[in-house]
Amino acid sequence: MNSTVVKKFCGYDKTIDCAPDKSVSVRAVVICGFARGESIVRGISTCDDVLSAVECMRRLGSRIEIDGDTAYITGVGGAPKRDVILDCGNSGTTAKLLMGLLAGVDGRFTLVGDASLSGRRFDRARNMLADMGAKIDCDRLPTTVCGGGLSGVRLEAEVPSAQDKSAVLLAGISADGTTEYRENVRTRDHTEIMLERVGADITRSGETITVRKSTLHGAEIIVPGDISSATYPLCIALAVAGGRCTVKNVGINPTRRDVLDVLMRSGGDITFTVPRGDAEKVCDITAKHCVLSPMEMSESECARAIDEVPTLAALACLANGVSVFRGADKLRGKETDRVETTIETIRALGGEASYNSGVLTVVGGRKLHYGKVDCRGDHRIAMTAAVLGCCGEGCEITGCECVSISYPRFFEEVIGV
């Protein structure tokens, strides 16, 4: 396993093109791969999670060619190959989307994944799909989905989760009748936006999304930049004395931008250009160094910006006071137990963090020191450690190659090593 040394930064002045959005790219591959006809996906991410989705859809019969950052997809027209094994790699989004999508179509599909994904539970999605009549033999991978025969029902989110919601909505595309999904915390809505784009009968009214059996057709999809990836350089610019960074083309979907709200409430000097684009708007975001006051994150913000919490917690080490992240229990079921790995990372570099009853607390202003972090194969922890290292006193991270799961060019683009 490689180890990477990150040095303390004495300045930071960068302009970066935002890495393409992983969530939107995975959805584009899965949904366009299932639709009838041709699609073009522009600005697609070729991170490992997206490539896992591409391989799965190819096995199901989709034709997918990737040329640079454009994908040309010929979908299976709602009728995938019927008896296949699908390797979702490390990608929870791929696994949940496929679980829902395939639950509604004839065939027998076995989902497998790497060791980390095989340790994650899919019980909530599986139970909701079972309420629709799905036959899914296990709530961990490997699991076999015997698809077909679904009926639309009314479901309610037990825990806010865009992946669970997506599984249900994709199942709803093939189910008889009407599927309704109610969420009282509005999670990322990329699936809804894309389903509408490819012609699904889907509407939202208040907290409830309604979907009916639909035939999907190919479309042109433009992938925005990934605000989760933009968070790393923006946080570095805020923390390093004299720092400045502009990230261009960042997706600014209202269900993804909580991270910016949290930073700005803490005094973060962040400015935006006017949003442009259609369904998934983008803008350029600039952050400049400033003194941060403590952060306070509510449960609903934490649910929506769940992937950014480790990095915000690391940045909170440099704020002057105690930061509080509520609803942090949701971090436990990710690629690692991110409550544990976030605290471990912060402590390894001299910071102070603890967890109690769903609340992650970080005491800012402790004197940071050089340290070693094992990111345990978790891309977000590797990048979080790098951010805290360069804003603090440097660090050595083992296992950094896992950044390719979401942001293959992270070290060159953001850190410069």
Q: How far is the CB of 379 from ligand S3P (least distance, A)?
A: 10
Does residue 306 belong to the site contacting ligand S3P (CB under 6 A)?
yes
Does residue 188 belong to the site contacting ligand S3P (CB under 6 A)?
yes
In the annotation, is 307 catalytic?
yes
Does residue 31 belong to the site contacting ligand S3P (CB under 6 A)?
no
- Please, what is the Cα angle at 28 between 30 and 70, to 5 degrees? 120
Does residue 174 belong to the site contacting ligand S3P (CB under 6 A)?
no
Does residue 229 belong to the site contacting ligand S3P (CB under 6 A)?
no
CB 32 within 8 A of CB 41: yes
Sign of CA dihedral 56, 57, 62, 65: negative
CB 323 within 8 A of CB 362: yes
Q: How far is the CB of 392 from ligand S3P (least distance, A)?
A: 26
Closer to ligand S3P by Cβ: residue 120 or 289: 120
Does residue 71 belong to the site contacting ligand S3P (CB under 6 A)?
no
Closer to ligand S3P by Cβ: residue 187 or 384: 187
Closer to ligand S3P by Cβ: residue 27 or 289: 27
Given the rule CB under 6 A, which of 33-41, 155-163, 276-284, 396-404 is the region that contacts ligand S3P?
Answer: 155-163
Among 4, 93, 231, 361, binds ligand S3P (CB under 6 A): 93
Q: How far is the CB of 415 from ligand S3P (least distance, A)?
A: 21
Q: How far is the CB of 402 from ligand S3P (least distance, A)?
A: 14
Does residue 161 belong to the site contacting ligand S3P (CB under 6 A)?
yes
What mask of x and - would describe binding to ligand S3P in positions 238 to 277, judged by CB under 6 A? ----------------------------------------
Closer to ligand S3P by Cβ: residue 74 or 161: 161
Among 162, 200, 223, 295, binds ligand S3P (CB under 6 A): 162
Among 74, 187, 246, 336, binds ligand S3P (CB under 6 A): 187
Instruction: Name the active-site residue from 164, 226, 307, 378.
Output: 307
Please identify every residue annotated as catalytic: 307
Residues at the interface with ligand S3P (CB under 6 A): 23, 93, 161-164, 166, 187-188, 306-307
